[in-house]
Structure 1
């Protein structure tokens, strides 16, 4: 398995510093948060996009994902959501990224209605994503935090242009164990987001291995099933100012994941 980290843990760092953090600490890729306050966002010009892709490419670091914030199950008109996803897909294609992250965002809608809305929008973007050479991934999150919830939506879509990100924290909070989540998501799985927290009541990010999330069990399940994708460390420093800074944790975090992979081999 290959290892990546998310720029959520290093808010608004210049691209060169993000690249350096990846290379210095042995990460193969980076999940880029794509919002207006970040160095990478859909408003970049063609020349700026080419420059970003070149910097990562020269360093041998893969841009794994453009992490967008479109909510595919949210109430309202489809077009603004489709436009937001479309802009993120084009950015991902220009950067050479494999994936675009989206959220469910169904809120208080009845589950069947939220499922239908999400499936309709994902079905609309799926062929475009495939043509661009990217894949739109619905993260296990908020209204659809369980693997079974996301699998239900993706089963309605049935197109290779869409898939899922397995966010370990959210499936655990939904009451699923890795041995249950993996079979549900396996047909659609793009990659796995790992993290650690103190408890269900305190989701402040912790160094990998120092919290309660079933990291070892997850890696064991993936290894047993011969899954050979990406593990991406999402350390949500941006929303937890009291959390330790990520750069100092990257080396030990990579070492912890490497040990888990070696133990499960």
Structure 2
């Protein structure tokens, strides 16, 4: 089982507490949100990077991904986006994370593809991947797949299927998986009240088609990381992530080899 939990679900609790929660609830990994508030970001010096890696590894955990915030299709000049992403990739290499999450933040495929190509050399040299999440302007599997096909860098790029966003934009899970199949590296699992009300709720109590998605992934033989992205940072009124992790672990046990 390759279950991770995102530090997005533990706002203000710090890395040591995140490690404790993950290790104590049957996780194998941590998805680290890159932000000054979390204490993990590209501004860390070499000693701080070594400390982060050591603490996670000593707990028997791995970093499943770094959740960065670069907008790969965002309007504006390429250089700031490319340099920020290169910095995140270097951080990933230092921490032992296999890849860095990026958001679309736009729908200009040519811009996004150009930037993915621009960082491909760095990513390849470091042995890391850039993972585009189904989110915002390219919320569907078909949207992200079109971007990755345009980029043509399969060795250094991949997709994150956030189970919420394609569905709430009208794309059924079967269509999402069909589009993402050549690129799928990573799944973010969560449940929500409805397509219109994305307030997080415990697994299996909302409207996200978790059973359907799970059956599809199992039939397809997906064996990558599954991360519980419990968005308590954005919804501070919801339950602590410790109460949600058992449901996520059960989902992974049922559907992911």
Would you say same fold, with TM above 0.5?
Answer: yes
Q: Where do 1:72-111 residues align within 5 Å?
A: 72-106=72-106, 111=107
The whole-number CA distance in structure 1 between the counterparts of 2:15 and 2:69 is 20
Residue 192 (structure 1) aligned with residue 202 (structure 2):
no
Q: Aligned residue for 1:165?
A: 160
User: Would you say the 8 A contact 2:159–2:185 is kept in 1?
Assistant: yes
Q: Is the 8 A contact 2:26 2:249 kept in 1?
A: yes
Contact 1:115 1:152 in 2 (8 A): yes
User: Scaled by the length of structure 2, what TM-score is found?
Assistant: 0.96
Distance 2:146 2:156 in 1: 16
* Pick aligned residue for 1:203 from 179, 193, 198: 198
Deviant stretches of 4+, over 6 Å: none
Whether the 8 Å CA contact 1:137–1:162 is kept in 2: the answer is yes
CA contact (8 A) 1:12 1:39 kept: no
What SS does the corresponding residue of 1:239 show, helix, strand or coil? coil
TM-score w.r.t. the length of structure 1 is: 0.93
Displacement of 1:157 in angstroms is 1.1
Tell me if the contact between 1:33 and 1:68 (Cα under 8 Å) persists in the aligned partners.
yes
Kindly provide the CA deviation profile for residues 82-110 of structure 1, in whole angstroms up to 9, marking residues without a partner as x. Answer: 1111111111110000110000001xxxx
Aligned to 2:236: 241
Separation in 2, partners of 1:24, 1:172: 31
Would you say 1:121 and 2:144 are equivalent positions?
Answer: no
Structure 2: tracts of 5 or more residues without a match: none
Describe the superposition over 1:173-202 as per-residue Cα deviations: whole angstroms up to 9, x where unpaired.
121112111121111111011100011121
Matched residue pairs, number?
A: 256
**CA positional deviation for 1:256:** 4.1
Quick check: 174-183 or 192-201, which moved more? Answer: 174-183
Deviation (angstroms), 1:247: 2.1
Structure 1 gaps of 5+ residues are none
